[in-house]
Amino acid sequence: MEARPTNAPGDATRIAREAVAAGADLILVAGGDGTINEALNGMIGCDTPLAVLPAGTANVLARETGIPVSPPKAAAVLNHMQPARIATGLVRNRDGSVRRHFVCMAGAGLDAHIVAYINPGMKRMLGKGAYWIAGFQSITRRLVELDATLPQSTHRCSFALASLVRNYGGDLEIARNASLLAPQFGLYLFEGSNPLRYLKYFTGVVLRNAARLKGITATNVTRLALDPVNGDKVHLQLDGEEAGTLPVTIEVVPSSLTLLLPPRYLAKERSRWTT
């Protein structure tokens, strides 16, 4: 086994790509969702499995799948993990050029604005708490809007979430119609530029009935386009990391990554999506 540290953004992608080319049997990532995202972008389409030792702020992928969030505990169960071929999401620029793959979620609008402008020092000091503080601070400003174009309709919203996981931010479940084993996004679109609407939306998410609230569209798609409106700058986040601005298209890439997952998670999700 060879340990390769990362020193700058993009290092994990390069290291993973080099390891795959060298014939690595396994790529083990010790880090948070952002580092995992970088690594998988060097592995798309290959057969080499990716395994995770969580060491980040939210650890969404670990919490979604039941991987222990303590690195020593995750390492202790590594030999019991099973490989599964999963879909990833792919973000493209309007000219068709590839921007980035993701394994958990793509968010545009409100949450991506928070990710783009959160204070790094506060994030280091408070962890997930920094995002909550930044989120509540957002109720003082008008929210920018975007158009989400689906195969048969277009929806104006201020927060669009295309997710392959139910977990959001490590603490909540939003896309309850999503699964790593289903080659489709759980899509949630939150309407309205008035931030006070999100008090109702947040309550719905906590009570796990957001899909039934007026102003929220919940569905499943394999492709969508996101465009800014009114000349506003609309941010995009992928797996919890800032990823530029709109416009973009987002699509599912079936069976594009091999991920080592806990047997209990696999059994549960296979039961959900084959019955």
Read off the CATH number of the domain in which 19 is found.
Answer: 3.40.50.10330
User: pLDDT (tens digit, 0 to 9) for every residue of the chain, 275 residues total?
Assistant: 788 999 999 999 999 999 999 999 999 999 999 999 999 999 999 999 999 999 988 899 999 999 999 999 999 999 999 999 999 999 999 999 999 999 999 999 999 998 887 756 655 665 565 565 556 666 678 999 999 999 999 999 999 999 999 999 888 999 999 999 999 999 999 999 999 899 899 999 999 999 999 999 999 999 999 999 988 999 999 999 999 999 999 999 999 999 999 999 999 999 987 65
Q: What is the pLDDT at residue 76?
A: 96
Q: Are residues 265 and 234 in the same domain?
A: no
Residue type, 100: R
3-state secondary structure of 79: helix
Alpha carbon distance 100, 40 (integer Å) = 10
Q: Can you give the pTM of this predicted structure?
A: 0.94
Q: What is the pLDDT at residue 116?
A: 84
Residue 230 domain boundaries: 90-254
Q: What is the pLDDT at residue 274?
A: 63
Q: What is the pLDDT at residue 136?
A: 61
Q: Are residues 120 and 239 in the same domain?
A: yes
Q: Are residues 15 and 118 in the same domain?
A: no
Alpha carbon distance 232, 127 (integer Å) = 29
Q: Are residues 134 and 54 in the same domain?
A: no
Strands (E) in 82-238, as ranges, are 82-92, 98-102, 105-109, 146-149, 154-157, 159-163, 167-168, 172-173, 185-190, 216-221, 223-228, 235-238
Domain count, the chain: 2
Pairing mode, strands 105-109 and 159-163: antiparallel
Q: Are residues 41 and 145 in the same domain?
A: no
Q: Are residues 197 and 165 in the same domain?
A: yes
Query: Residue 223: CB partners within 8 Å, gap ≥ 6?
Result: 151, 249, 250, 251, 252
Read off the CATH number of the domain in which 198 is found.
Answer: 2.60.200.40
Count of C-beta atoms within a 10 Å radius of residue 117: 12
Q: What is the pLDDT at residue 230?
A: 86
DSSP structure string for 210-234: GGGSTTEEEEEESEEEEEE-TT---
Alpha carbon distance 177, 187 (integer Å) = 8
Q: Are residues 38 and 128 in the same domain?
A: no
| 155 touches 52 (CB < 8 A) | no
Cα–Cα distances in angstroms (integers) from residue 24 to residues 13, 21, 39, 48, 249, in the given order: 14, 8, 13, 7, 32
Torsion, CA 210, CA 59, CA 260, CA 29, rounded to 10: 150
> How far does the chain reach from its first CA to its final CA, in angstroms?
40
Alpha carbon distance 268, 30 (integer Å) = 25
Q: At what angle do helices 110-117 and 128-137 cross, to 10 degrees?
A: 120
Alpha carbon distance 275, 266 (integer Å) = 14
Q: Are residues 67 and 121 in the same domain?
A: no
Q: Are residues 241 and 259 in the same domain?
A: no
Q: At what angle do helices 11-21 and 33-40 cross, to 10 degrees?
A: 40
Q: Are residues 29 and 112 in the same domain?
A: no
